[in-house]
Amino acid sequence: MRVLVVGNGGREHAICWKISQSPLVEELYCIPGNAGIQEIAECVEFSVDDIQGITDFAKDNSIDLTIIGPEVPLVLGLADSLKEVGLKVFGPDKKAAKFEGSKAYSKDFMVKYNIPTAQYGVFSNADDALRALKQFDIPIVVKADGLAAGKGVLICERKSEAEEAIVEIMQKHQFGEAGNRIVIEEFLTGTEASLLCFVDGTNIIPMESARDYKKAYDGDKGLNTGGMGCFSPNPIYTDRLKNYIDNHIISNIKVGLQKESIDFRGVLFIGLMIEDDEAKVLEFNVRFGDPETQVILPRLESDLIEIMMKVIEGNLHESDLVWSEKQAVAVVIASGGYPNDYKKGKVINGLNTMDDDIMIFHAGTILKDGNVVTNGGRVMAVTCMEENVEKARDKIYNNIGRIIFDKMEYRTDIAKL
Ligand SMILES: Nc1ncnc2c1ncn2[C@@H]1O[C@H](COP(=O)(O)OP(=O)(O)O)[C@@H](O)[C@H]1O
Ligand SMILES: [Mg+2]
């Protein structure tokens, strides 16, 4: 098969790494890719939101399967566009991608189908939103409805902060059209976790669990980031919690998809807040998580291409997913300053000194004059799989010091339970 992966992050490197092991894959392309992906796939320069360009490329190159990594092309309808010209695609169409494209839509779906979630209101003008603040206790969560690259959620400790947030989002258009509507939400306490599921139109089959670390610095200090590390499995997933999620969340999502005639084929990422073996849904995403994918896919023993084809055909079963008992850890190396301003273009040394069982998934990297140089905030994830988390973590931290670039940063406490 001729396979195309769309995206340029660590998630897409992990997907490319995994599928390049499949005997089904003859040619692998990536749009636009990064320096790590370039070692295993032919990278082609298109922007991920260039729906027509990517569709034409896939058609002209007789691509048998396109795998869409990031949310932006999914929400813009890349899957629809590819299907219109008769091509196979892994990733939901525009209608199903609304679960990530609109938080208001997702919340309404959750309430309609009895999926536990925080109390909320949806507002499309600032005056109504400001008036409604009276009904909420602090802290108050204010969310831009549309895509905001992970920056559209504000946790407000005071009413005045919530008022400012509403003005910034709805009147000053801080997130553009994504802020035409907002969701105001009750603040939930507990421990966050995410659950990635394959959805084949009817069946929703969870993958192995993972725990990610969102804060920039050790001890969960500093700003929120895209994710600074991860490990799998996540010990928070007790059998009782799994049962709760099956009976109150997954089964109700299934009913909702059917009743709303949503033909969801791809990955549904369920963001959860967990307390006492019960869970509420914070949000849905419609794609693999990053960095969760970097620890989940190494543990998948089955052929990912076979799984994806079954998702597309609508006949995936739990027995199709075989998981390694081993545990996986990934530590993200970032550019100094991230998630605020940082410099790009730093030469990265030491990548060829890693032990054999270390996997490096590149994110913000690019090849320049024969060197791998930094090209983003999160630069790469150093990953290892072992019989327990401690061993995997020790191996990673033994290796990570051999990777060197100016102002590199990483957390030293990933997977310390
Ligand atoms: N109702 C809530 N209560 C407490 N924390 C929340 C709530 N909603 C969101 N958060 C926090 O904000 C983060 C981002 O919110 P989320 O809905 O996942 O949007 P996005 O990932 O699109 O930015 C969550 O990971 C969580 O830490
Ligand atoms: Mg989220």
C-alpha 264 – ligand 1 centre gap (Å): 23
Closest CA to 145 of 184, 187, 115, 171: 184
Closest CA to 327 of 381, 393, 272: 393
Map residue 394 onto helix, strand or coil: helix
How much is the pLDDT for 150?
85
Which tens digit of pLDDT belongs to each residue from 143-188?
Answer: 999 999 888 999 999 999 999 999 999 999 999 999 999 999 999 9
Which tens digit of pLDDT belongs to each residue from 131-151?
Answer: 999 999 999 999 999 999 888
Would the pTM count as exceeding 0.85?
yes
Q: What pLDDT tens digit does each residue of the chain (417 aa) get?
A: 999 999 999 999 999 999 999 999 999 999 999 999 999 999 999 999 999 999 999 999 999 999 999 999 999 999 999 999 999 999 999 999 999 999 999 999 999 999 999 999 999 999 999 999 999 999 999 999 999 988 899 999 999 999 999 999 999 999 999 999 999 999 999 999 999 999 999 999 999 999 999 999 999 999 989 999 999 999 999 999 999 999 999 999 999 999 999 999 999 999 999 999 899 999 999 999 999 999 999 999 999 999 999 999 999 999 999 999 999 999 999 999 999 999 999 999 999 999 999 999 999 999 999 999 999 999 999 999 999 999 999 999 999 999 999 999 999 999 996
Reported as type and span, the H/E element at residue 326 is: none
Q: Is CATH 3.40.50.20 the classification given to domain 2-93?
A: yes
d(C-alpha 219, C-alpha 416), whole Å = 10
What the block records as the tokens of 128 is 């109504």
Do 375 and 364 touch, CB atoms closer than 8 A? yes
Closest CA to 19 of 307, 313, 305, 323: 305
Which residues have C-beta within 8 Å of that of residue 276, sequence separation ≥ 6? none
Reported as type and span, the H/E element at residue 382 is: strand 378-386
Q: Which amino acid, one-letter code, is at 267? A: V
Atom 16, ligand 1: residue with shortest CA distance = 283
- Protein residues near ligand 2, an ion, with CB under 5 A: 271
Protein fold of 125-180: Dna Ligase; domain 1 (3.30.1490)
Instruction: Tell me whether the omega of the peptide bond preceding residue 139 falls within 30 degrees of 0, making it cis.
Output: yes
Give the right CATH number for 191-320 from 3.30.470.20, 1.10.1740.10, 3.40.50.620, 3.30.499.10.
3.30.470.20
Do 271 and 192 touch, CB atoms closer than 8 A? yes
Residue located via tokens 């991860």? 230
d(C-alpha 210, C-alpha 275), whole Å = 17
How much is the pLDDT for 417?
66
Reported as type and span, the H/E element at residue 114 is: none
Which residues have C-beta within 8 Å of that of residue 50, sequence separation ≥ 6? none
Which tens digit of pLDDT belongs to each residue from 310-338?
Answer: 999 999 999 999 999 999 999 999 999 99
How much is the pLDDT for 224?
87
Which residues have C-beta within 8 Å of that of residue 273, sequence separation ≥ 6? 118, 188, 189, 190, 191, 192, 279, 280, 282
Atom 9, ligand 1: residue with shortest CA distance = 282
CA 51 to centroid of chain Cα atoms = 20
C-alpha 306 – ligand 1 centre gap (Å): 33
Atom 15, ligand 1: residue with shortest CA distance = 153
Domain boundaries, the chain: 2-93, 125-180, 191-320, 327-410
Atom 1, ligand 1: residue with shortest CA distance = 187
C-alpha 200 – ligand 2 centre gap (Å): 23
CA 87 to centroid of chain Cα atoms = 24
Select from 100, 189, 273, 282 the residue to mutate for testing ligand 1; criterion: most ligand atoms less than 8 Å from CB: 282
Residue located via tokens 């998809």? 257
Q: Are strands 204-206 and 365-368 parallel, antiparallel or unpaired?
A: unpaired
CA 192 to centroid of chain Cα atoms = 14
- For ligand 1, what atom is nearest to the CA of residue 152? 23
Q: Is CATH 3.90.600.10 the classification given to domain 327-410?
A: yes
> Which amino acids bring their CB within 6 angstroms of ligand 1?
118, 141, 150, 152-153, 155, 185, 187-188, 192, 271, 282-283
What the block records as the tokens of 411 is 């957390």
Select from 138, 153, 156 the residue to mutate for testing ligand 1; criterion: most ligand atoms less than 8 Å from CB: 153
- For ligand 1, what atom is nearest to the CA of residue 189? 4
Whether the CA torsion 391, 320, 203, 298 is positive or negative: it is: positive
Long-range CB pairs of 246-252, under 8 A, 24+ apart, other chains included: 248/114, 248/115, 248/116, 248/278, 248/279, 249/115, 249/116, 249/279, 249/281, 250/197, 250/204, 250/206, 252/113, 252/114, 252/115
Q: Which amino acid, one-letter code, is at 354? A: M
Closest CA to 48 of 24, 74, 11, 19: 74
